[in-house]
Amino acid sequence: MTPVDHPAPPPPSGPVPYDKDFALSLLRDMLRIRRLEEKCAELYGAGKIRGFLHLYIGEEAVGVGALHALTPEDNIVATYREHGHALVRGMDMGVLMAEMYGKREGCARGHGGSMHLFDRKTRLFGGNAIVGGGLPVAAGLGLAEKMQAGRRVTACFFGDGAMAEGAFHESMNLAALWKLPVLFCCENNLYAMGTALERYESQTNLCIKAASYNMPAVAADGMDIVAVHDAAKQAAALVRSGGGPVFLELRTYRFRAHSMYDAELYRQKAEVEEWKTRGPIHTFTARLKADGKLSEEEFLALDAAVNDEVAKAVAFAEAGTWEQVEDLLKDVYTPTGAAP
């Protein structure tokens, strides 16, 4: 089957409308995701990380821009491509890496691995290995918040492929019907695993689909962290005001294959290379330099600090401990005859 052509729009450009400290915090978090995941790919090849591994490389502006628009009290529900969300949300990189290794020092004692990061302290209510599986969870969290008359927003991240799932339609319908405080963040990277958007959606304008549930639906350039942050900030404010759910489509592109097992035969290499010219890290870096908010020396120092953090995280994971054999069934089965 001939791959569908997805030409890349012009790269993000123009002044950055933030002060230097905030702008550099955005750049730092994008770099932290990129360097962590580059190391994860290397460790996967070395057999240190096993199972499934889905990388966020190329999509960093989405998670960073959106999460910086939320408060620490807000709820986050993610997908199996959630390393960046966990990191930006505040999960310690060493704890995250230990979970990837399957070590007891990980956020789920090594039981969850790459696709099931969870951190109650930061209100990260898990990555989810099932496509669309986080959507009903987000609706439930939103319902609980409304019943308690709280002001938390539940931000639910999911891929474009989830919009073909029944769970998406059920969750959107109930959220709109009950005016739940949920921010639906669709990370549209144009491919549901290995199937192009045009081959599984009869309506490729995802905002039109979302708007059919009688909620505001807005699209933003997911490769432009300024566009993502501003759109997410406005959407979150609308949700928090009691207006009900909002759908935010963040149009992005992943530079790596769907997973480490993906042969990536469904898209042209030239298309990937073209989209790399829109990479969120180097385009944002160039804009900051043009604004006089970042020098090459400052960038190199920032990158060095991030690489040092990654090295320490790997050392922490390497020094971690494996789960005891007698605990392998813990939290899986209830022993026969156990008290209820």
User: Could you tell me if residue 14 is inside a domain?
Assistant: no
Tell me: pLDDT of 76 over 80: yes
pLDDT, residue 329, reads 79
The pLDDT of 196-220, averaged and rounded, is 97
| 192 strand-pairing partners | 195
User: Could you tell me if residue 153 is inside a domain?
Assistant: yes
Tell me: pLDDT of 3 over 90: no
CATH of the domain at 46: 3.40.50.970
Distance CA 156, CA 184 (A): 5
pLDDT averaged over every residue in the chain: 95
pLDDT, residue 208, reads 97
What is the strand order of the sheet 217-221 is part of?
75-77, 154-159, 182-188, 246-251, 217-221
Tell me: pLDDT of 340 over 80: no
E-assigned strand segments in 67-177: 75-77, 154-159
More confidently predicted of 336 and 134: 134
User: Could you tell me if residue 327 is inside a domain?
Assistant: no
Residue with tokens 């490729």: 204
* HSE-CB for 198 with a 13 A CA cutoff: 7
Distance CA 74, CA 88 (A): 13
Distances (CA, A) of 55 to 6, 38, 76, 80, 210: 20, 9, 19, 9, 26
79, 241, 82: which is closest to 167 by C-alpha?
79
pLDDT band at 332 (very low <50, low <70, confident <90, very high): confident
Element (H, E) at 305: helix 296-318
pLDDT band at 286 (very low <50, low <70, confident <90, very high): very high
User: Could you tell me if residue 334 is inside a domain?
Assistant: no
Distance CA 129, CA 145 (A): 25
CB 289 within 8 A of CB 295: yes
pLDDT band at 290 (very low <50, low <70, confident <90, very high): very high
More confidently predicted of 52 and 331: 52
For 141-194, what is each residue's pLDDT tens digit? 999 999 999 999 999 999 999 999 999 999 999 999 999 999 999 999 999 999
The pLDDT of 317-325, averaged and rounded, is 93
145, 237, 259, 235: which is closest to 185 by C-alpha?
235
Tell me: pLDDT of 1 over 80: no
pLDDT band at 327 (very low <50, low <70, confident <90, very high): confident
189: its two tokens: 């990277």
Tell me: pLDDT of 47 over 90: yes
Q: Provide the residue range defining the domain that includes 147.
A: 20-318
User: Could you tell me if residue 313 is inside a domain?
Assistant: yes
Tell me: pLDDT of 339 over 60: no
User: Could you tell me if residue 338 is inside a domain?
Assistant: no
User: Could you tell me if residue 13 is inside a domain?
Assistant: no
pLDDT, residue 144, reads 98
Does this model's pTM top 0.85? My answer is: yes
Tell me: pLDDT of 94 over 90: yes
User: Could you tell me if residue 333 is inside a domain?
Assistant: no
Q: What does DSSP assign to residue 80?
A: S
* HSE-CB for 47 with a 13 A CA cutoff: 0
More confidently predicted of 239 and 329: 239
Tell me: pLDDT of 242 over 90: yes
For 114-153, what is each residue's pLDDT tens digit? 999 999 999 999 999 999 999 999 999 999 999 999 999 9
114, 157, 154: which is closest to 133 by C-alpha?
157
The pLDDT of 35-60, averaged and rounded, is 97
pLDDT, residue 326, reads 84
For 222-237, what is each residue's pLDDT tens digit? 999 999 999 999 999 9
Number of domains forming the structure of the chain: 1
